[in-house]
Amino acid sequence: MAYKVFLGVGHGGTDTGAVADGYREKDMTLAMALACQEELARHGVLVRLSRTKDENDPVNEEVRECNAYAPDLALDIHVNAGSGDGFEAYYTTHGGKGKSLALAIEQEVKALGQNSRGCKTREGSLGRDYYAFIRDTACPAVIAEIGFIDNAKDRAAFDTAQEQQAFGRAYARGILKTLGVPEAPIASEDAETMIAAQTIKKKAGLEDQTIRYLLNYQYGEALVKKLAKAME
C-alpha cells in the first residue's frame, strides 16, 4: 500500500495569518503546500491538503480532516512572525517519528541555504503538547515555520513563488526520507542539461541539493547550461 501524508496549509480565507509589507502568510503556505504535494505525488505518495485554495481553514478542522484521512505522517506549513530569523520546526514531546521528520525537513531546508533556529518541542498544561496540530493528531505530526515574514532579510529567502515552491519540495524530500522512500532522479527534458549539471557540480564542488535547487528554478535548465559553458 502507498504511504499517505496530510498537509495542513496554515491559515486561509478571512484569516490571513502573519502579514508584512504586502506579503501574506496564507498565500505563502499554499504555494509551499502545493509544491510539496506535487513532489510527494511524483514518488507515489498519497497526499491530502487541508485546503487547495484561499478559504477558511481553522486548526480544529485540519486536525479532524487529518485524523479522518489516517495518514502515516502530517505536516502543518506556516510562516513565522515576530522579527526573528530562520526556519524552525515543532514536534511532539514524545519524540519518535515526529522528531525524525522535523530533523529531516530541517536538513533539506538548510541545504537550500536557509538558516535554522532548530527543531523544538513546546509543552502546554498537564505536560501535554502545546500545539493542537501536534497534540490532537493521531499520527506523528510536525509544524514547520519557513522563516519570519516581518524580517525583510529573512523573508528574502522565500518571498518569491519559485522560492516557496523550492522549499515545498524540500519539505517533500524530508518527508520521503522519513518514510524511507528513495528519491527519484531529477527529470530533465534532455541529456545535455544533465551533462551540464554534472559539469558544474564537479567543477564548482556543489552538493546534489544545490543542483536540484538550480534545476527546479523556473529558468534552471537554461542557467545550468550557461554556467557549464562558462566553465569550459
pLDDT at residue 190 in the model: 63
Relative to beta strand 73-80, strand 141-148 is parallel
Question: Beta partners for 148?
Answer: 80
| CA pair distance 141, 75, nearest whole angstrom | 6
Same domain for 34 and 143, yes or no, is yes
- Each of the 232 residues of the chain gets a pLDDT tens digit; together they read 899 999 999 999 999 999 999 999 999 999 999 999 999 999 999 999 999 999 999 999 999 999 999 999 999 999 999 989 999 999 999 999 999 999 999 999 999 999 999 999 999 988 999 999 999 999 999 999 999 999 999 999 999 999 999 999 999 999 999 999 998 876 555 667 777 887 887 788 877 667 776 776 667 778 888 888 888 7
Active-site positions read 145
CB proximity list for 75: less than 8 A, separation 6 or greater: 5, 6, 7, 8, 36, 101, 105, 141, 142, 143, 144, 171, 175
Residues paired with 129 in a beta bridge? 123
Alpha-carbon distances of 14 from 157, 171, 207, 211, rounded to whole Å: 26, 26, 41, 39
Q: What residues pair up with 120 in beta bridges, in sequence order? A: 90
The answer to whether the CB of 50 falls within 8 A of the CB of 75 is no
**What whole-number distance in Å separates Cα of residue 63 and Cα of residue 141?**
10
Does 185 reside within a domain? no
Of the residues 179, 205, 222, the one at which a domain ends: 179
For residue 185, give Cα distances in angstroms to 93, 134, 209: 35, 32, 12
- Spatial distance between the Cα atoms of 169 and 81, rounded to a whole number of angstroms: 22
Q: In this structure, is residue 184 part of a structural domain?
A: no
pLDDT at 186: 64
99 and 12 belong to one structural domain: yes
According to DSSP, the residues that pair with 9 across neighbouring strands are: 77
Same-domain pairing of 163 and 202: no
- Exposed e or buried b per residue across 13-33, where buried means at least 16 C-beta atoms within 10 angstroms of its C-beta: eeeebbebeebbbbbbbbbbb
- Same domain, residue pair 47 and 154: yes
Residue 186 lies in a domain: no
| Amino acid 15: pLDDT | 98
Domain identity same for 65 and 161:
yes
Containing domain of residue 225, as a range?
A: 191-230
pLDDT at 217 (0 to 100): 66
Cell of 103: 530533523
Say which CATH number the domain at 175 has: 3.40.630.40
How many residues does this entry show for the chain?
232
pLDDT on residue 67? 98
Q: Are residues 50 and 117 in the same domain?
A: yes
* Judgement on whether residues 85 and 141 belong to the same structural domain of the protein: yes
The whole-angstrom separation of Cα 5 and Cα 139 is: 10
CA distances from 90 to 2, 42, 98, 184 (A): 26, 26, 9, 28
Residue 194: its pLDDT value, please? 73
Nearest 5°: CA angle at 154, between 152 and 159?
Answer: 70
Domain count, the chain: 2
